[in-house]
Amino acid sequence: EREARAAAAANAAAEREARSERQQSARAAETERRRAARQALVDEMEAQARREEEARREEEKARAAALWAAPPEQSDARLALEREIAQARSEVEAARRCEEAARAEAEAARAREVAARAEAEEAAVREETLLRRLADLEPRPGPPSAAKGGAGGGQHTGVADVAGRSATLPQKIARIRTHFGITPGCSLPAAVAAANAMAGLATEGGLLQQADRLLSLLEAGGKGA
């Protein structure tokens, strides 16, 4: 039965790893698509800027030619106005460049956030898989003999009786989460640490020992009630 559980856990881990690889491939494709879109946008903006610069130069040439034919007083006023217009146009172009840079940075930050979230999910999956393997490696004492049960008056003889000797580590921690109201989203070590803090217990021993100690405390509290 243990070999079957181990094989099932290995198959589940392999499936999760394959799913993680597919997710990474999808994320890489999406990142490449966004990069190509951003590059296309930058190329289009540069081309547009070049066209606008050429149009501006042509316009300035035309205005300069007109100034030569205008009276002196009109030429001075027109020249001052043209300088103000050129300054305003330069400020508008600088503001547009700053806006595009800020937009590109925001997209890069969102991509980093998505990648970090994916890495955290993958790490959580690996952690759960390793903890299950660790639970399978933990020694499990055999069930108490009938003579011991009779001598103790039907009482439980140890921590393993509280959680059930065949219960896995995730099953034990699921009971602990339910009792202490701990959110299912946190990892197994985080759930045990939170339960230890609520129960006033020290964080000593392995994760399985801590879980058994907490379940023993819960069982003792249930008998007292």
pLDDT at residue 141 is higher than 70: no
**Mean pLDDT, all residues of the chain:** 78
Do 148 and 112 meet the contact criterion of CB atoms below 8 Å apart? no
CA distance 192 to 183: 12
- Exposure pattern of 49-74 as b/e (b: 16+ CB <10 Å)? eeeeeeeeeeeeeeeeeeeeeeeeee
Do 214 and 201 meet the contact criterion of CB atoms below 8 Å apart? yes
CA distance 97 to 99: 5
Q: Across residues 24-37, what is the average pLDDT? A: 91
CA distance 217 to 212: 9
Please tell me which residue, 222 or 90, carries the higher pLDDT value.
Answer: 90
CA distance 88 to 97: 14
CA angle centred on 225, ends 192 and 171, rounded to 5°: 30
- 60-87 pLDDT, tens digit per residue, is 888 777 766 656 666 677 778 888 888 8
- 152-161 pLDDT, tens digit per residue, is 444 444 444 4
Do 67 and 79 meet the contact criterion of CB atoms below 8 Å apart? yes
Do 215 and 163 meet the contact criterion of CB atoms below 8 Å apart? yes
Q: Please tell me the predicted confidence (pLDDT) of residue 223.
A: 54
Q: Please tell me the predicted confidence (pLDDT) of residue 157.
A: 40
CA distance 217 to 213: 6
Lowest-pLDDT range of 126-130, 194-198, 209-213, 216-220: 126-130
CA distance 169 to 116: 28
- 173-186 pLDDT, tens digit per residue, is 888 988 888 987 77
Which phi-psi region, left, alpha or beta, contains residue 203 (left: φ > 0; alpha: ψ -120 to 50)? beta
- 94-125 pLDDT, tens digit per residue, is 888 888 888 888 888 888 888 887 777 777 77
Q: Please tell me the predicted confidence (pLDDT) of residue 51.
A: 93
